[in-house]
Amino acid sequence: MHNPFDLSGKAAVVTGANTGIGQAIALALAAAGADLACVGRTPADDTVEAARRMGRKAVIIAADLSTIEPVQRIVDETLAAFGRLDILVNNAGIIRRADAVDFSEADWDAVIDTNLKSAFFLCQAAARHMIAQSQGKIINIASMLTFQGGIRVPSYTASKSGIGGLTKLLANEWAGKGINVNAIAPGYIATNNTAALQADEARNKAIVDRIPAGRWGEPGDLGGAAVFLASDAARYVQGHILAVDGGWLAR
């Protein structure tokens, strides 16, 4: 009997796969059978080694996604390594914090370029190949700030709101071409990016008090959602933003 969650024989590109959410998603895809192209500025040695221990093929693609310069090369190197590209996870992202009245143009551009511009052009480059093969899965990593405003992170909020809209637009354009485009919106996940919030006693308490699950999420909590959206089980899911948030948005 066919397992609709089986990713055996598929090749996945995961950006920011060296740690945190990206690493957890990459390893969940590998556990489901996918081979991995791990993309990032920092080599994802631990991720690649873990995937290979599972019996998967895995490669590192060094790329700085603060510009779109490496975008086509990422696709080309993936195809050279595996002969195929079936899944793209746009996870790489940065955040800058400052009051809106003081926020700099440099911090605005850095976040928008990495989180939104490069994500779009990587979707575009991957989709050109996926359209030719009439199948593919794209998963963008959104945020609670795709739905909410947040404070002191104007460019991050703008970028993640943009990811939500972009996911829907691409689904509209590409669903009929065999490509599923969806997003995962992580809740408050304990990673390096949220270390400052976790360390702030008052802010940490306010966050946990609002989460119905009563705890911060862990990167591994996102793995099942990624496998689902990357698999045949989600073949009729298009333009959806799946919140994995412990109930945060329901509160």
Point out the residues that are catalytic.
Answer: 156
Residues 6+ apart with CB under 8 A from 139: 25, 87, 88, 89, 90, 182, 183, 184, 226, 229, 230
Which residues, listed in sequence order, are joined to residue 61 by a DSSP beta bridge? Answer: 39
Between CA 203 and CA 197 the distance in angstroms is 6
Tokens of 12: 């996945």
Between CA 148 and CA 160 the distance in angstroms is 10
Between CA 131 and CA 51 the distance in angstroms is 28
Residues 6+ apart with CB under 8 A from 133: 84, 178
Residues 6+ apart with CB under 8 A from 62: 40, 41, 43
Which of these, 4, 2, 3, lies nearest to 229 by C-alpha position?
4
Only one residue has tokens 């996918």, namely 34
Between CA 4 and CA 21 the distance in angstroms is 23
CB 189 within 8 A of CB 21: yes
CB 234 within 8 A of CB 7: no
